[in-house]
Amino acid sequence: MATEEERKYRHGATLFQRRVYAIYRSVLTTTPITRLFLLLCVACLLLLSTLTIFVNTTSLTAIPNVTGGSRFSLNPRSYFGKKSAKRPASTENDILPEWVDAGEEKIPLHYARTLQYGSSQGHTFKQLKELSAASSFTVKRKPEGGTTVSVTVVLNLQQSTDLKHQLDAILSQSLQAEVVWVVCTMKTEKAAHGYILKFRHSAHIEVIVIDDDRPKQFGWLQVAQDATTEFIWLIDDGVVPGLRYMETLLRLANTDEYRDAVLGTQGAVLPPRGPNGLVDSQGLVCMPDPIESGEIASATQPVDMLNHIWFIRREWAPLLLRDAHDEARRVPLGFLITHSLRYYADIPSIILPTDPIDTTVWGDTRSSTELEASCKHIKEQFRDNPAWRRFLALGHPLAADYKRTPSTRSNRNIVFFIDGVRQARVLQPLFCRFATSDQGAVVHVVVTGAARGVSAQQLTMSLKKKFSSCANVRTYDLDIRYGVASGLPNDDVAGVLAQTAHGMDRVLKLLRPRAMIHVAQDRNPAVQGAEIAGKLLNLVDIGVPPNDVRHVLWMPDLPLETIESEY
Vertex 519: Cα angle to 516 and 525 (nearest 5): 95
The residue among 353, 369, 401 that closes a domain is 401
Residue 537's CATH number: 3.40.50.10770
pLDDT in tens, 388-434: 888 888 888 888 887 766 554 457 889 999 999 999 999 999 999 99
Q: 504 and 381, same structural domain?
A: no
Q: 413 and 288, same structural domain?
A: no
For residue 137, pLDDT over 60 is answered with: yes
* Ranges of H-type helices in 366-481: 368-384, 386-392, 399-403, 421-436, 456-466
Number of residues written out for the chain: 567
> What is the rounded distance in angstroms from the CA atom of residue 337 to the CA atom of residue 398?
13
| Of 77-81, 102-106, 543-547, minimum mean pLDDT range | 77-81
Asked whether residue 525 is domain-assigned, the answer is: yes
For residue 205, pLDDT over 70 is answered with: yes
> What is the rounded distance in angstroms from the CA atom of residue 398 to the CA atom of residue 270?
7
Q: 389 and 420, same structural domain?
A: no
Helix (H) or strand (E) holding 311: strand 309-313
Q: 212 and 159, same structural domain?
A: yes
Q: 216 and 345, same structural domain?
A: yes
**0.85 exceeded by pTM:** no
For residue 37, what are the domain limits? Answer: 4-59
| Of 66-80, 82-96, 297-311, minimum mean pLDDT range | 66-80
| Of 86-100, 454-468, 521-535, minimum mean pLDDT range | 86-100
Which positions ≥6 away from 447 have C-beta within 8 Å?
Answer: 418, 419, 424, 454, 455, 456, 459, 475, 476, 477, 478
Asked whether residue 318 is domain-assigned, the answer is: yes
Q: 146 and 14, same structural domain?
A: no
Widest Cα–Cα separation across the chain: 127
pLDDT reported for residue 432: 92
Q: 388 and 422, same structural domain?
A: no
Q: Which residues pair with 541 in a beta bridge?
A: 516
Q: 193 and 138, same structural domain?
A: yes
Q: What is the domain count for the chain? A: 3
Asked whether residue 106 is domain-assigned, the answer is: no
pLDDT class of 85 with cuts at 50, 70, 90: very low
Q: Strand pairing of 309-313 and 231-235?
A: antiparallel
Q: Is the dihedral of CA 237, 238, 239, 244 positive or negative?
A: positive
Candidates 190, 196, 206, 198; CA nearest to 153 is 206
Asked whether residue 435 is domain-assigned, the answer is: yes
> What is the rounded distance in angstroms from the CA atom of residue 418 to the CA atom of residue 476?
10
Give the mean pLDDT of 346-374: 77
For residue 139, pLDDT over 70 is answered with: yes
Asked whether residue 65 is domain-assigned, the answer is: no
The residue among 366, 401, 436 that closes a domain is 401
pLDDT class of 92 with cuts at 50, 70, 90: very low
Asked whether residue 108 is domain-assigned, the answer is: no
> What is the rounded distance in angstroms from the CA atom of residue 183 to the CA atom of residue 360?
25
Asked whether residue 345 is domain-assigned, the answer is: yes
Give the mean pLDDT of 200-224: 72
Q: 358 and 210, same structural domain?
A: yes
